[in-house]
Amino acid sequence: VEKLLGPVRFLSDRPLTEPRTGVATGLAYTSVGGDVLLIEVLALPGKGRLKLTGSLGEVMQESATAAMSRARLHGEDLGVPATWFDEHDLHVHVPEGGVPKDGPSAGVTMLCALLSAASGRPVRNDLAMTGEITLRGDILPVGGIKEKVLAAIRAGIKDLLLPAENERDLHDLPPSARRRARIRFIARADEALEAALLPEKN
């Protein structure tokens, strides 16, 4: 095909090749199916401001704000000083900024990326996740589970975190996908952090 049409112009489903601090892998549902979505967080000296970039819609911006509040609450459990969030600005970015992104499914991924940046603990690069987060720390169910799981498998990621209430959606998956995916169902934010964050690099 490349000989006839030339090099591939649009690349997607590009997972990280190694764990990175401040970067978590999410799963998105788009008009053309599922996709892997990297969420990056950069911590800078500042005064506790939150900056969002990457053509994020209103719902995703609200998810980031909720994730930030939960991150402040969980910080001390991960060894982050209570004053750290007041002394740093956090820049949340979702690459491929020309592509509009919205929908209530990125809260848990944003939380993991935020706390990774704050604690210095890398996020597993072989793990993808989806789920919305509440201020109480609950993980809410999301749509497009079949498409998201297939996108992860297509990208070579087999370990997945999905909301507990989405377990009923597995019947939509092809049997081959169910065999290949290792899915952990989570109901609380601390379960996601336990599964996603690696020990701090020395």
Per residue in 26-85, pLDDT (tens digit) is 998 877 778 898 999 999 999 999 999 987 888 888 999 999 999 999 999 999 998 999
Q: Give pTM, 2 decimals.
A: 0.88
Evaluate whether 87 touches 45 at the Cβ level (below 8 Å): yes
Number of H helices, E strands in the chain: 6, 9
CA-angle at 110, arms to 42 and 186, nearest 5° = 145
Helix (H, G, I), strand (E, B) or coil at 93: strand
Per-residue pLDDT, averaged over 114-140, amounts to 96
- Given the residues 105, 116, 119, 146, the one annotated as active site: 105
Number of CB atoms found within 10 A of residue 150's CB:
19
Q: Which of 63, 119, 146, 148 is catalytic?
A: 148
Look up residue 61 and give its two tokens: 């911006």
Tell me what pLDDT residue 17 has.
Answer: 85
Pairing of strands 159-163, 182-186: parallel
- The answer to whether residue 148 is catalytic is yes
Q: For all residues of the chain together, what is the average pLDDT?
A: 88
Q: What is the mean pLDDT of residues 97-120?
A: 81
Q: Where is pLDDT greater, at 97 or 75?
A: 75
